[in-house]
Structure 1
């Protein structure tokens, strides 16, 4: 947990910082009467595996990975980002390019103007789709909410995170809070796939959750029409600590773990084969006076995975009469 006056140090340490909205079923206006200061550890776990998300899974240039985590503890009148609202310029830069400077300035401005921000925290990036990164934060009874973002890399403007998560339960701080995280679209880029080129959404759309059927387009990298809902792509756990928070240098040097060190059962998502439309019928092959044969073909656009529906036939023949016969 870093006080605002040290936020630039956090930025310099986590310059590569490159988000999911969920909050506990508590009113944002709930009054926290617990002890003034609470300290928490945060464990962010990436669960973006090829088994869980086989469609167009990024293997290189760049491979699937997570940006650094950027978060803030605050009061109920501040929102880092909010579902169904337009993303700020800082959130746009963070979600699209992993640039944190504008978002840091927005957080600091909110803290100076309406005193709604208590402090900023960050955690190192994860170099693969699965792995863990950790940090710590400090919450205040007048600022018991936390929000954070982690960019999905590569992606047009997709992220996971939490919006206004309340760590206080009235008279006491919550001991442990765990959230399953799902992908969100910042509404600033129109790309459908992980590797889509940068096409700005004009006019800008609102922040929306990406589901197995939304956007409802087969080109969407998260389009799994057989699933009622996507499996969690990440998870975050907040655990209340006793004693003093670790120093700034300790936080900045937190160690991440790779996917091989995470022992969790991974659900396999079935991916059905996708084929192209049929080509036009070819020329009729045969001799005059007898029936000939013409053919058409199609190709595999997406190979099946995890016991998904197998590919159908890729060629088809039909009887025909040769042309130009007298």
Structure 2
């Protein structure tokens, strides 16, 4: 009884320590979703375009050594082409150059589900702690050079923990590369080029947002839970399962899973040294849980998130 009380006390202490953040692993799996809300209802104008839509949602995960887009900055050639025509060839080249230089990790190029200003684009990414920043862009079409942009959004909090969920409103921006104040293509070039600037509450836009970005943690990457015991754990929210990777001959004698309040929800006493074991928890709710592993090398406790 004393041992159980000590364990539960430890769980509560850890829960208070992590608060709303998720312990840092080398990688984390996220879903990035942009939901358009731009319409003639939110941004009323007499000639609202009948062919209003978004270009592909493009982006990149990167570190702080590089900036791809941002208010007050001059648009690169890649961002200019995205904003003016939804063309991402040069932007992809800029991303590849950053990857080669060791400043970026993965690129994003996701079409929207339908041809509509209120459609959405969703993509799954694996973020790396060395490249925790997310930058995105998409053309507001048709337009001279209008777009939405996200500049270096961090997926890690100030303590270096993966953030479980981020929701932010997005507003229209002018890339500063082409003239025009109506929904139209092929306008004169802006000379000299101007910095990227907000179009919020500037015609033809109102003060309303044009969309919402949601970044949601799906699962943590594989994490080393003990230096001398090469046992790794990952979670899969979609299948409500926990994967235990045993990369040595260490024999796991017992597995216990507790919720954040110290209630044991699963126990396995089978002794095994299988390389991989999957524990399914089909009815588990979203939240923080603790896995207690007892092996021939001792007991290990690890927190996971669903």
Structure 2 equivalent of residue 37 of structure 1? 27
Structure 1 residue corresponding to 2:43, chosen from 53, 65, 80: 53
Residues 1-28 of structure 1 deviation map (CA, whole Å, 9 limit, x = unaligned): xxxxxxxxxxxxxxxxxxxxxxxxxxxx
User: What secondary structure, in the 3-state scheme, does the structure 1 residue paired with 2:55 have?
Assistant: strand
Structure 2 equivalent of residue 66 of structure 1? 54
Structure 2 equivalent of residue 186 of structure 1? 175
TM-score, normalised by the number of residues in structure 2 = 0.62
- Confirm or deny that 1:176 pairs with 2:159: no
The alpha carbon displacement at 1:212 in A equals 1.2
In 2: Cα distance, 1:129 partner to 1:163 partner = 22
In 2: Cα distance, 1:183 partner to 1:133 partner = 17
- Confirm or deny that 1:123 pairs with 2:110: yes
Q: Which has the higher strand share?
A: 2
Structure 2 equivalent of residue 221 of structure 1? 204
Structure 2 equivalent of residue 211 of structure 1? 200
In 2: Cα distance, 1:57 partner to 1:35 partner = 50
Q: CA RMSD in A?
A: 2.0
Structure 2 residue corresponding to 1:234, chosen from 196, 203, 211: 211
Contact 1:39 1:245 (8 Å CA) reproduced = no
Contact 1:184 1:207 (8 Å CA) reproduced = yes
Contact 1:74 1:146 (8 Å CA) reproduced = yes
User: What secondary structure, in the 3-state scheme, does the structure 1 residue paired with 2:151 have?
Assistant: strand
Contact 2:177 2:193 (8 Å CA) reproduced = yes
User: What secondary structure, in the 3-state scheme, does the structure 2 residue paired with 1:84 have?
Assistant: coil
Q: 1:56 to 1:105 in 2, by over 3 A?
A: farther
Gap regions ≥5 residues in structure 1: 1-31, 214-219, 225-229, 247-326
Contact 1:50 1:57 (8 Å CA) reproduced = no
In 2: Cα distance, 1:146 partner to 1:208 partner = 20
The alpha carbon displacement at 1:109 in A equals 0.8
TM-score, normalised by the number of residues in structure 1 = 0.58
Higher RCO structure (Cα 8 Å, ≥6 apart)? 1
Q: Which runs of 4 or more aligned residues in structure 1 lie more than 6 Å from their structure 2 counterparts after TM superposition?
A: none
In 1: Cα distance, 2:179 partner to 2:23 partner = 44
- Confirm or deny that 1:108 pairs with 2:85: no
Gap regions ≥5 residues in structure 2: 1-21, 220-234, 239-306
In 2: Cα distance, 1:245 partner to 1:90 partner = 35
Deviates more, 1:176-185 or 1:125-134: 125-134
The alpha carbon displacement at 1:194 in A equals 0.9
Residues 186-238 of structure 1 deviation map (CA, whole Å, 9 limit, x = unaligned): 0000111112542100111110111214xxxxxx322x5xxxxx111111100
Residues 143-175 of structure 1 deviation map (CA, whole Å, 9 limit, x = unaligned): 100001011011100000210000101231000
In 2: Cα distance, 1:132 partner to 1:196 partner = 23
Q: 1:193 to 1:106 in 2, by over 3 A?
A: same
Question: What number of residue pairs does the alignment pair up?
Answer: 200
Structure 2 residue corresponding to 1:199, chosen from 184, 188, 197: 188
The alpha carbon displacement at 1:59 in A equals 3.7
In 1: Cα distance, 2:149 partner to 2:74 partner = 16
* Larger Rg over CA atoms: 1
The alpha carbon displacement at 1:133 in A equals 2.0
Residues 69-99 of structure 1 deviation map (CA, whole Å, 9 limit, x = unaligned): 0110000111111211111111111110111
